Amino acid sequence: MNQACGIVSVAKMTTERHAAEYNMKHKDRGLALIFNHEHFDSSELSTRTGTNVDCKNLEHELQKLYFTVVVHTNCKYKEILETVQKAASQDHTNSDCILVAILSHGKMGFINAKDKEYKLDSIWSCFTADRCPTLAGKPKLFFIQACQGKSFDDGTMLRTDHIETDGESATNYRIPNHADFLFAYSTIPGFYAWRNQLQGSWFVQALCAELATNGKRLDILTLLTYVCQRVAIDFESYNPKIPAYNEKKQIPCIMTMLTRVLRFSDR
């Protein structure tokens, strides 16, 4: 909506008003953009060894879910913005959804492109319903593998007690411009996100494992809950020579504005 002029944007209804699930039966699953950052202009930002493993695995799993995957490597901010704006200007009428994955360095509120840091909202705001009407009412998914700070999670030990126990569907309706977004962050605000140089980041490892096992069976929020479980329970840093980096934990953070159940069912 252009609030100053009182103009309401109009988009085609793609899902019945009170449908429990998103319509995922369009001709195409949709576009998946992966921005993979390994190298940076600033000498203060280290090479992200292991990110190519993440990128390859994520690309593979998204292709299995019928996404059209396009990988962009070591892009400058202007290139990222131009790519996203071009994607937002396309006709997504025949697509179920869109997905954007960013693998990079970051800090609270910012992500690093090759040349500078930027705020995520400069990217996702291109896909709001008023700016990208052919994605209105459709899922817009963002997966962010990046630190959100420098704090470490020491974790807490849990111990057992050693106890064993065996009609209006055709009516026009208005939606918020910012509805139908989902953001999955590798860690919570203020905290570090861990990455293995050989196997990739904890978050993307867990995400790809869940997509491979349950990607076509579980709804996305249940699946991401299990991603959080994998990261929280199965991963722990090991660096005994540097105690400050040893035995640390991590928990992803999911923020959702989805309005229906999202399931990548088989086609």
Active site residues: 105, 147
Q: Does residue 23 contact residue 14 with C-beta atoms inside 8 Å? A: yes
Contact yes or no for 221/229 (Cβ under 8 A): no
* Inter-residue contact 78 to 114 (CB < 8 Å): no
3-class secondary structure, 203: helix
Structure-token pair, residue 148: 């959100």
- Cβ of 143: how many Cβ atoms within 10 Å? 24
Question: 121-127: long-range contacts at Cβ-Cβ below 8 A with a sequence spacing of 24 or more?
Answer: 122/81, 123/80, 123/81, 123/84, 124/100, 124/181, 124/183, 126/84, 126/85, 126/87, 126/88, 127/84, 127/88, 127/98, 127/181
The DSSP code sequence of 91-155 is --TTEEEEEEEEES-EETTEEE-SS-EE-THHHHGGGSTTT-GGGTTS-EEEEEES---SB-B--
Could you tell me whether strands 110-112 and 195-196 are parallel, antiparallel, or unpaired per DSSP bridges?
A: unpaired
Q: Which backbone phi and psi does 97 adopt, to 5 degrees?
A: -165, -175
